[in-house]
């Protein structure tokens, strides 16, 4: 087995050899600890029969760890300068394909019909570029791609929001979306010191095990997420006040109150106290009362 890419000396050697500089605008903080990456691969539950979608391979540190444990790896990298580097660093692996593409513009559905037609399951993973962490997460979750897990490294503060429970400061619309589509688990904290260049904050690894069925039943899923976003519009305001603002001055205030009664929720509650099932009940109430 070749030496891990994710060590300080190898990373520096690769950067020097290819005369590469880090692009801050693309969130390029490369990881220098292969043990952490192996924990990530482990958490993803990938097997030798599975395919992997990786977001942002950089110089290939996580890619090679997956290549050793999976059937096939497809990695999306936006930075053209990294293509010859990845050709070089991953030359020992015949089961890796690099796509030079923005992950947010990729037609992932097509991947499942073609490239992954001969793999058992597919996992998605990445050490996410911090400037588009949420859009990437939502792209994977909302599209309901047939993936088994989504195992991602991100700023600790965002990771905490994904896994947060009601009644905590970190709990918000991102927590609800993530927990609606997946079971989320914090795998480990990753200190800022294991990245090159070193970011200002620590990171965390979150594993989302994609659900086959949402944990709550809602009649109108789109309305559910609209209500959740409206409820958290101003965290210091009560739930009733946020929803009043959402329906506007011309909205039916009595119907709004009736919807709260239907759901058994006090208007003076704050959105952060509501569980997924309470948001589901409130949404169904709003639908029933035609708010």
| 159 contacts ligand SAM (rule: CB under 6 A) | no
| 140 contacts ligand SAM (rule: CB under 6 A) | no
Count the alpha carbons within 13 Å of 255 in the hemisphere toward its beta carbon: 13
- At residue 172, the 3 state secondary structure works out as coil
| 36 labeled binding residue | no
Q: Which is nearer to ligand SAM, 105 or 144 (CB)?
A: 105
| 29 labeled binding residue | yes
| 77 labeled binding residue | yes
Quick note: the x/- pattern for ligand SAM over 69-108, rule CB under 6 A, is -------xxxx----------------------xxx----
| 27 contacts ligand SAM (rule: CB under 6 A) | yes
Candidates 56-64, 158-166, 174-182, 267-275; binding stretch for ligand SAM (CB under 6 A): 56-64
Among 44, 65, 89, 127, binds ligand SAM (CB under 6 A): 127
Q: How far apart are CA 50 and CA 270, in angstroms?
A: 43
Q: Which is nearer to ligand SAM, 57 or 172 (CB)?
A: 57
| 285 contacts ligand SAM (rule: CB under 6 A) | no
Q: Where would I find the H helices in the chain?
A: 8-17, 34-44, 61-69, 82-89, 108-113, 133-142, 156-163, 173-181, 221-231, 239-247, 253-263, 276-288
Give the pair of three-digit tokens for residue 157.
């503060």
By the 8 A CB rule, do 283 and 223 touch? yes
DSSP state of 164: P
The nearest distance, CB 102 to ligand SAM, in angstroms, is: 4
Q: Which is nearer to ligand SAM, 28 or 242 (CB)?
A: 28
| 110 labeled binding residue | no
Q: Where would I find the H helices in 93-132?
A: 108-113
| 56 contacts ligand SAM (rule: CB under 6 A) | yes
Q: How far apart are CA 40 and CA 149, in angstroms?
A: 11
Q: Please report where in the chains the tokens 């692996």 appear, as a residue.
A: 93
CA torsion through residues 171, 174, 176, 182, sign: negative
Candidates 13-21, 28-36, 161-169, 282-290; binding stretch for ligand SAM (CB under 6 A): 28-36
List interacting residues with ligand SAM (CB under 6 A). Answer: 26-31, 55-58, 61-62, 76-79, 102-104, 127, 129, 132
Binding-site annotation, residues for S-adenosyl-L-methionine: 29, 31, 56, 77, 102, 127
């Amino acid at each position: 087995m070749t030496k891990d890419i994710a060590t300080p000396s190898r990373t520096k050697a690769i950067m020097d050899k290819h005369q590469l500089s880090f692009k801050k605008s693309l969130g390029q903080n490369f990881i220098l600890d292969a043990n952490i990456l192996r924990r990530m691969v482990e958490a993803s539950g990938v097997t030798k029969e599975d395919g992997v979608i990786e977001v942002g391979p950089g110089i290939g540190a996580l890619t090679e760890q997956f290549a050793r444990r999976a059937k096939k790896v497809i990695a999306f990298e936006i930075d053209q300068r990294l293509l010859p580097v990845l050709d070089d660093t991953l030359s020992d692996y015949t089961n890796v394909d690099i796509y030079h593409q923005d992950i947010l513009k990729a037609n992932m559905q097509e991947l499942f019909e073609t490239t992954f037609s001969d793999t058992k399951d597919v996992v998605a993973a990445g050490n996410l570029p911090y400037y588009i962490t949420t859009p990437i997460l939502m792209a994977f979750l909302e599209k309901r791609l047939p993936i088994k897990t989504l195992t991602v490294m991100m700023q600790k503060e965002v990771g905490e929001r994904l896994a947060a429970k009601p009644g905590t400061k970190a709990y918000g619309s991102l927590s609800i979306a993530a927990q609606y589509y997946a079971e989320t688990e914090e795998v480990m904290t990753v200190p800022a010191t294991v990245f090159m260049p070193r970011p200002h904050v620590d990171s965390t690894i979150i594993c989302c095990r994609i659900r086959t069925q949402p944990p709550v039943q809602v009649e109108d899923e789109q309305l559910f997420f609209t209500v959740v976003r409206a409820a958290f519009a101003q965290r210091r305001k009560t739930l009733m006040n946020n929803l009043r603002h959402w329906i506007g001055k011309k909205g039916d205030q009595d119907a709004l109150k009736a919807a709260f009664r239907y759901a058994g929720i006090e208007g003076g509650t704050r959105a952060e106290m509501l569980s997924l099932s309470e948001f589901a009940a409130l949404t169904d109430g709003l639908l029933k009362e035609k708010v």
